[in-house]
Amino acid sequence: MTKYIKLFAPVFVAVVIFILPTPEGLSQNTWLYFSIFIGVVVGLILEPIPAALVGLIGVGICIWFKIGPAGSGDVSKVIKSSEAVSWGLAGFANSTVWLIFAAFMIGLGYQKSGLGKRIALILVKLLGKTTLGLGYAIAIADGILAPFIPSNSARSGGILYPIVNSIPPMVGSYPDNEPRKIGGYLVWVSLASTCVTSSMFFTGLAPNLLAMETATKSGVEAISWFGWFMAFLPAGLILFLATPYLTYVFYPPTSKGSKEASKWASEELSNIGSMTLKEWYMIGLAVFALVFWIFGDSFNVNATTVALSVMIAMVLLNIITWDDVLGNKAAWGVLAWFGSLITLAGGLKNVGFLNFIADLGGKYLGTFAPLEAMIGLIVLFYLLHYFFASTTAHVTALLALFIAVAETINGIDVRHLTLFLMLSLGIMGIITPYGTGPSPVWFGSGYVSGKDFWKLGFIFGMIYLVVFLVICIPWVKYVAYRWL
Q: Is residue 482 part of a domain?
A: no
Which residue in 110, 92, 158, 72 sits closest to 314, CA to CA? 110
Residues 275 and 126 in one domain: yes
Tell which wins on pLDDT, 331 or 53: 53
φ, ψ of residue 4 in degrees (nearest 5): -70, -35
Residues 171 and 22 in one domain: no
Residues 68 and 159 in one domain: no
Interatomic CA distance for residues 36 and 6, integer angstroms: 16
Provide, for the chain, the percentages of residues in helix, strand and coil under a 3-state DSSP scheme, each rounded to the nearest 5: 75, 0, 20
Give all strands (DSSP E) within 63-164, no chain letters.
none
pLDDT beyond 80 at 361: no
**What pLDDT shows up at residue 442?**
87
Domain boundaries, position 72? 1-92+341-351
Instruction: Kindly state the average pLDDT of the residues 158-172.
Output: 79
Beta bridge partners, 174, equal 177
Q: Per residue in 152-162, pLDDT tens?
A: 877 887 678 87
Beta bridge partners, 257, equal 130
pLDDT beyond 80 at 30: yes
Q: For residue 408, give the amino acid letter.
A: T
Residues 198 and 260 in one domain: yes
Task: Please tell me whether the overall predicted TM-score, pTM, comes out greater than 0.85 for this model.
Answer: no
| Confidence band for 260, pLDDT divided at 50, 70 and 90 | confident
Q: For residue 4, give the amino acid letter.
A: Y
DSSP letter at 229? Answer: H
Contacts of 401 (CB under 8 A, 6+ apart): 348, 354, 357, 361
Residues 80 and 143 in one domain: no
pLDDT beyond 80 at 385: yes
Q: Is residue 249 part of a domain?
A: yes
- How many other β-carbons are positioned within 10 Å of the β-carbon of residue 47? 14
Q: Is residue 406 part of a domain?
A: no
**What pLDDT shows up at residue 140?**
94
Domain-ending residue, one of 317, 351, 385:
351
Contacts of 303 (CB under 8 A, 6+ apart): 99, 203, 225, 292, 293, 296
Tell which wins on pLDDT, 94 or 315: 315
Q: Is residue 455 part of a domain?
A: no
Distances (CA, A) of 476 to 10, 40, 419, 483: 39, 34, 9, 9
Residues 86 and 146 in one domain: no
Interatomic CA distance for residues 346 and 143, integer angstroms: 32
pLDDT beyond 60 at 1: no
Interatomic CA distance for residues 276 and 228, integer angstroms: 34
Residues 176 and 37 in one domain: no
Assess contact for 137 and 185: CB atoms under 8 A.
no
Distances (CA, A) of 191 to 151, 236, 366: 13, 15, 38
Assess contact for 107 and 149: CB atoms under 8 A.
yes
Q: Is residue 480 part of a domain?
A: no
Assess contact for 182 and 253: CB atoms under 8 A.
yes
pLDDT beyond 90 at 390: no
User: Taking every pair of C-alpha atoms in the chain, what is the biggest distance, in angstroms?
Assistant: 74
Tell which wins on pLDDT, 460 or 306: 460
Assess contact for 10 and 39: CB atoms under 8 A.
yes
Interatomic CA distance for residues 227 and 186, integer angstroms: 32
Interatomic CA distance for residues 456 and 67, integer angstroms: 44
pLDDT beyond 70 at 328: yes
Residues 54 and 85 in one domain: yes
**What pLDDT shows up at residue 95?**
78
Q: Is residue 379 part of a domain?
A: no
Interatomic CA distance for residues 15 and 41, integer angstroms: 14
pLDDT beyond 60 at 63: yes
Beta bridge partners, 130, equal 257
DSSP letter at 256? Answer: -
- Locate all alpha helices (DSSP H) within 317-436, ordered by sequence: 322-327, 329-350, 353-365, 370-383, 391-394, 400-406, 414-427
| Confidence band for 389, pLDDT divided at 50, 70 and 90 | low
Q: How many CA atoms lie within 13 A of 101 on its CB side?
A: 23
Domain-ending residue, one of 297, 329, 361:
329
| Confidence band for 297, pLDDT divided at 50, 70 and 90 | low
Q: Is residue 367 part of a domain?
A: no
353-365 vs 28-46: helix crossing angle, rounded to 10: 80
Assess contact for 234 and 470: CB atoms under 8 A.
no
Which residue in 194, 190, 191 sits closest to 204, CA to CA? 194
Residues 135 and 282 in one domain: yes
pLDDT beyond 80 at 434: no
257 three-class SS: strand
**What pLDDT shows up at residue 379?**
92
Q: Which of left, alpha, beta for 26 (phi over 0: left; psi -120 to 50: alpha)?
A: beta
Q: Give the CA radius of gyration of the chain.
A: 23
Contacts of 82 (CB under 8 A, 6+ apart): none
Residues 41 and 176 in one domain: no
Q: How many CA atoms lie within 13 A of 113 on its CB side?
A: 28
259-272 vs 115-127: helix crossing angle, rounded to 10: 150
Residues 100 and 84 in one domain: no
**What pLDDT shows up at residue 313?**
96
Beta bridge partners, 177, equal 174
Instruction: Kindly state the average pLDDT of the residues 49-71.
Output: 91
**What pLDDT shows up at residue 445?**
81
pLDDT beyond 70 at 128: yes
> Across all residues in the chain, what is the average pLDDT?
88
Interatomic CA distance for residues 155 and 142, integer angstroms: 7
Burial of 5 (0-12, 13-18, 19+ CB in 10 A): exposed
Which residue in 143, 161, 166, 139 sits closest to 258, CA to CA? 166
**What pLDDT shows up at residue 317?**
96
Q: Please count the structural domains in the chain.
A: 2
Domain-ending residue, one of 294, 321, 351:
351
Residues 74 and 106 in one domain: no
Q: Is residue 222 part of a domain?
A: yes
